[in-house]
Structure 1
Amino acid sequence: MRSTSNTIRTRRTVKAAATVLAGALALSLTACGSDDDKSGGSQNTGTKASGDALTLPKLDGTTLEVAAVWTGPEQANFKKVLAEFEKRTGAKVTFVPAQDPIINFLGSKIAGGQPPDVVMLPQPGAIKQAVDKKWAKPLGAEALKELRKNYSQGWQDIGKVGAEQYGVYYKAANKSLIWYNAKVFENAGATEPKTWDELLTTAQTVYDSGVTPFSIPGADGWPLTDWFENVYLSQAGPEKYDQLARHEIKWTDPSVKEALTTLAQIWGKKDYVAGGADGALQTQFPNAVTQTFTGGDQPKAAMVYEGDFVQVNIAQTDAKVGTDAKVFPFPKVGDTAPVVSGGDAAVILEDSAGAQALATFLASPDAAEIQAELGGYLSPNKNVDPAAYPNDVQRKIAEALVAAGDDFRFDMSDQAPQAFGGTPGKGEWKDLQDFLKNPTDVAGIQAKLESDAAAAYGN
């Protein structure tokens, strides 16, 4: 059984729309921010007005728990959203730090009789598993009303299992971005690439200037899957991408070989990766970002690939988004630039008036605008005021995402069963870590990917 077959059909990617989105990003992402545009926080602390404020029930005496894998600034910023919910309703909400794989974490909490009321699930496959295990509860009438008012059909559909709506995609991500140290590029005379070949030329130019081109967080398997997905989507095309996401073609397919061989042009050059493969495999995602923007014009690396949420980590440095830290769309490997999205959905586990009210709040612009102001966050909610975002770069990314409507490709590994696409030290995460360590073994990694995928998908 394919864990997300019911939702993949809704993820239509019209080639022209993807091109429009990539083009819009290419035109806008180099916008310079002012001194007040540092992404880690805004001077504003209240929400922006987006029509009438949402009416929520009084919940004095109600206690709720919300679980998510978020840490650091991302967790701190989300807690401010929860604080606003507490202020409006009188409820008391506790954030529960979760661990990957989150389905295993939930299983232990449920077995112990302490399930959280609401959980933020980062994979459509995890939503399906939670429903299959009879943990998840459908959204009620008020949450559905708010969701349908504020979200495109595509973002609604990826939170469905069968005909029932279970998830509210509170947080989205544009995962087709490469961030760079502007001073390093300026000193090297490097330019923003639009194609993979140009990216290789830019990397060599940066290397020749004395700075290592890339920072890769190999200690975390998920960024490696994102690298693969962008190369594969652009090179193999949307149809193949969907087939591989559903495991309708094998990971031993020639298209996978071509994508891995392409990746090896960067991963296989130890001088192109900060710390080499061994160093990268010990570098976690937050450090991969901060080391790119620490050290002035002599950082440990010039570029780091990942989504818009990188801004939260840039904010922990002295760099300012739009001036010191700039960004360009992931270069096209094939005919068009890739546009890969991801997200986190609020799912109710303990059905109650409080949990339903929180899901309703998270489906509203009111909640999203609080976190939007704090930076490092992107909402698929089409009624969020763009002015809520703290800088022009984030604002343009958000506007492009909303303008794309239903036309986007969702993160492939997030569509997979969690055993393959979402478990540290196993499945695709581990296999691509092994490939980063030895990028010459393309056939061996393909065979391992296929073996792990077949076991997880059951086909």
Structure 2
Amino acid sequence: MRIPRSPDGYVTTPRTRRAAALLAAGVLAVSLTACGGGDDDEDKGGDKGRGGGTPGTVTLPKLDGETLEVAAVWTGAEQKNFKQVLAEFEKRTGAKVTFVPAQDPIINFLGSKIAGGAPPDVALLPQPGAIKQAVDKGWAKPLGAGATKELGKNYSQGWQDIGKVDGKQYGVYYKAANKSLIWYNAQVFENAGASEPKTWDELLTTAQTVYDSGVTPFSVGGADGWTLTDWFENIYLSQAGPEKYDRLARHEIKWTDPSVKEALTTLAEVWGKKDYVAGGPSGALQTEFPASVTQTFTGGDQPKAGMVYEGDFVQVNIGETKAEVGTDAKVFPFPAVGDTAPVVSGGDAAVILEDSKAAQALATFLASPDAAAIQAKLGGFLSPNKAIDPSAYPNDVQKKIAEALIASGDDFRFDMSDQAPQAFGGTPGKGEWKALQDFLKNPKDVAGAQAKLEADAAAAYGN
């Protein structure tokens, strides 16, 4: 994440080492109890929801007869769990909320809805760049006093700033992601005699150890281009450093820069290694993200792969198998490629498109610990809301990931592709997603990948 905000709508900070050290060294046990509140009477439990809510809950208005539509690109368990949050909002306010499944890129989806005269009231946008686009198009409406107040109580300044455009608050980052994690099949590691690596060289050694035991080291969901951008970003941040990461995210340096060549060359040490990726390049390119996870934790001690890289939300997909997080499925931080282990985050922000009392109330609710705690208990969810009691998370693994995110404060970087214009960083079959899919197919063509990335970035950024 970046602070302060630059003219192009991004926020920037030069600090990442403390957060990286927390993750890499495993110093995750921080006390978050009563973290988000102040000392005034309201924070001590003066607020009550509609119908006599429990002490400490956010105040919400009566909205009997009001209707809302909420759009998000969420499916499966993630959508099902979020609907439980919306059901609680309905219970407290009397409003009726309908979830509208959206498609990527969500800006295009919203554009068609708006053109048809039927926009959703609230949308969950997965990219800061998408928030800025929604503001520039005149779609997004600023948050009111209630939501802004909840954000001020419960969020670090950096998480507030990433939801701002031109100094105005438009987004509530309801959902976050720690995208610097590698999950592994514990039985595979035990059988192979493999250990958790802390550096990139150690990761390659671990991969060879797993391979020698008869199991393919990595599962890659290459059919979903965004997973490939996440691989690149972790390597680039750790290897090139935070300042260059920020500059590349703003396209202040070109994708033909030597630092990009170095990162792609490093990435090819996994993607280009014969039999290191389940199904080979062609198989990976036909594997969607959910399957990349489930095939790592099914098949007993002979799964299709021993490891899968992705964020904390992998737990939702692990839950679809018989594997138990923390026992059968374990996790380690993305290893340090350079001096410091990377800390890359992502998230989804609630943005109001149709301003109303009900829409503002929902934004306020989503900025409160009440809403996030509901979904936290269901698993596969991480919140930047520092007022959540960590005991809300369902297992020690998720609890430690959440504690590390809160402890990092503003000392991490937001997903680079999510900051880019959607034409480059968030559209299936185009831009960075497609260029890295092509690179997965042919990891020897570093120069060709750089040239394609630069051409697409220049077109999308307009420079």
TM-score interval (norm. to shorter): over 0.9
Of 3-12 and 126-135, deviating more is 3-12
Q: Aligned in 2, Cα 1:51/1:158: closer, same or farther, shift over 3 Å?
A: farther
The within-5 A match list for 1:47-126 is 52-126=56-130
Q: Aligned in 2, Cα 1:94/1:270: closer, same or farther, shift over 3 Å?
A: farther
Unaligned runs of 5+ in 1: 29-48
The answer to whether structure 1 residue 8 and structure 2 residue 10 are counterparts is yes
- Corresponding residue number in structure 2 for 1:263: 267
The answer to whether structure 1 residue 146 and structure 2 residue 137 are counterparts is no
Give the superposition deviation at 1:424: 0.4
The answer to whether structure 1 residue 306 and structure 2 residue 306 are counterparts is no
| 1:385 equivalent among 375, 384, 389 | 389
| 1:24 equivalent among 20, 23, 26 | 26
For the residues of structure 1 that align with 2:109 and 2:240, how far apart are their CA atoms?
Answer: 35
SS across alignment from 2:275? helix
| 2:334 equivalent among 330, 350, 354 | 330
What amino acid is the match of 1:456? A
- Corresponding residue number in structure 1 for 2:221: 217
Give the superposition deviation at 1:15: 2.4
SS across alignment from 1:445? helix
How many residue pairs match? The answer is 437
- Corresponding residue number in structure 1 for 2:432: 428
For the residues of structure 1 that align with 2:344 and 2:319, how far apart are their CA atoms?
Answer: 24
- Corresponding residue number in structure 2 for 1:174: 178
For the residues of structure 1 that align with 2:375 and 2:224, how far apart are their CA atoms?
Answer: 25
- 8 Å contact from structure 1 (residues 6, 161) kept in 2: no
- 8 Å contact from structure 2 (residues 238, 336) kept in 1: yes
- Corresponding residue number in structure 2 for 1:419: 423
Show CA shifts across 1:183-210 (max 9, x none): 0000000000011111111011001101
Q: Which has the higher contact order (CA 8 A, sep 6+)?
A: 1
For the residues of structure 2 that align with 1:276 and 1:26, how far apart are their CA atoms?
Answer: 36
What amino acid is the match of 2:374? I
| 1:397 equivalent among 398, 401, 426 | 401
What amino acid is the match of 1:170? Y
Give the superposition deviation at 1:269: 1.6
Show CA shifts across 1:191-245 (max 9, x none): 0001111111101100110100000000000000000000000000111101100
Q: Aligned in 2, Cα 1:4/1:315: closer, same or farther, shift over 3 Å?
A: farther
Give the superposition deviation at 1:163: 1.2
SS across alignment from 1:170? strand
For the residues of structure 1 that align with 2:20 and 2:332, how far apart are their CA atoms?
Answer: 15
- Corresponding residue number in structure 2 for 1:282: 286
For the residues of structure 2 that align with 1:415 and 1:427, how far apart are their CA atoms?
Answer: 13
Give the superposition deviation at 1:54: 1.2
- 8 Å contact from structure 1 (residues 136, 166) kept in 2: yes
Q: Provide the aligned C-alpha RMSD in A.
A: 1.5
Give the superposition deviation at 1:9: 3.3
Q: Aligned in 2, Cα 1:423/1:5: closer, same or farther, shift over 3 Å?
A: farther
Give the superposition deviation at 1:407: 1.3
Give the superposition deviation at 1:18: 3.0
For the residues of structure 1 that align with 2:185 and 2:385, how far apart are their CA atoms?
Answer: 30
- TM normalised by structure 2 equals 0.92
| 1:344 equivalent among 348, 352, 359 | 348
SS across alignment from 1:52? coil
- Percent identity of the aligned residues? 83
Give the superposition deviation at 1:19: 2.1
Unaligned runs of 5+ in 2: 31-52
SS across alignment from 1:271? coil
Q: Aligned in 2, Cα 1:358/1:109: closer, same or farther, shift over 3 Å?
A: same
For the residues of structure 1 that align with 2:11 and 2:152, how far apart are their CA atoms?
Answer: 19
- 8 Å contact from structure 1 (residues 214, 303) kept in 2: yes
- 8 Å contact from structure 1 (residues 21, 404) kept in 2: no
Show CA shifts across 1:13-48 (max 9, x none): 3423432343236899xxxxxxxxxxxxxxxxxxxx
What amino acid is the match of 1:441? D
Give the superposition deviation at 1:447: 0.3
| 1:297 equivalent among 291, 294, 301 | 301
- 8 Å contact from structure 2 (residues 9, 132) kept in 1: no
For the residues of structure 1 that align with 2:462 and 2:302, how far apart are their CA atoms?
Answer: 49
- 8 Å contact from structure 2 (residues 143, 352) kept in 1: yes
Q: Aligned in 2, Cα 1:68/1:11: closer, same or farther, shift over 3 Å?
A: farther
